[in-house]
Structure 1
């Protein structure tokens, strides 16, 4: 006798958590933010379409890249809800995020390279500041650590 291998079409929250490697509480949070969706069983238990596994994988990858949840939400809204995101879907989403990631990488590299220098905070601690901010000249450029802000081209 030949038996067919058919996977369940829906997953419980526990099954989804186990398969995705994401805590049940995180899945509930994702659902509260509209990132994933469930239906309810007759016993009022959450049931997730199997396609949710790939959505959760996309969410996890985007979070690892440092993409804000609001941006992830906006991207997921462009995907069909009746199927798993495809390779083409992922390529489109990742292309949208690539430029932002490149800009953040550039900012992080600049921060790393300037980390041990003056941040232009305006503290006027001339005895301990490695670069003098005499007369708080950087204060003219705005509040906060001017040399660490994006576009912080001010020179002390």
Structure 2
């Protein structure tokens, strides 16, 4: 590894648009792993710019840090991921996103009517939830929960 392959945390922050503390947080969560210089300063691989950028995008898409970490386990460490590496991740994330989109569409389509909360306080509840039959399926908005 060449010295030019490593960048300090400030440069990582500048390149990714994140604060230094956010990058340290991701480090604490095991999402990035800096190398330490002789003076014990953090140095990141240039390929970590893509990893941190991916974290930002994935979080905006609603993925949890645990889900992101599981996807990162599929990537090689120590080299810039290839298009094939990212394709593996994008295929997996596409499935998660499709499930979330379907859930959002169900919610959108039912939100004007009954949300299946079991409240029986609206006149429509007698139609959608006669005799509070949804209560047997558990608490909360049963018609919209995807379990």
Determine if the TM-score, normalized by the shorter chain, exceeds 0.5: yes
1:140 CA drift (Å): 2.1
Query: In the alignment, does 2:99 pair up with 1:103?
Result: yes
1:129 CA drift (Å): 4.8
1:44 CA drift (Å): 2.0
What is aligned with 2:89?
93
Stretches of structure 2 that go unaligned for 5 or more consecutive residues are none
> In 1, Cα distance between the equivalents of 2:32 and 2:92?
20
Whichever structure has more helix as a proportion of its residues is 2
After superposition, give the CA deviation of every residue in 1:15-54 in whole Å (9 maximum; x if it has no partner). Answer: 1000111121111111111111112223222111111111
When Rg is computed on C-alpha atoms for both structures, the one with the higher figure is 1
Query: In the alignment, does 2:16 pair up with 1:25?
Result: no
TM-score scaled by structure 1? 0.82
What is aligned with 1:114?
110
What is aligned with 1:131?
125
Secondary structure in structure 2 of the residue aligned to 1:61: helix
1:63 CA drift (Å): 1.8
Pairwise mapping of residues 1-156 of structure 1 onto structure 2 (< 5 A)? 8-125=4-121, 128-132=122-126, 133-150=129-146
Aligned CA RMSD, in angstroms, stands at 2.0
Secondary structure in structure 2 of the residue aligned to 1:8: helix
> In 1, Cα distance between the equivalents of 2:103 and 2:135?
21
1:64 CA drift (Å): 2.2
1:141 CA drift (Å): 2.3
TM-score scaled by structure 2? 0.87
After superposition, give the CA deviation of every residue in 1:102-141 in whole Å (9 maximum; x if it has no partner). Answer: 111011011011112112222221xx45432343222122
Count residues in correspondence.
Answer: 144
> In 2, Cα distance between the equivalents of 1:122 and 1:48?
52
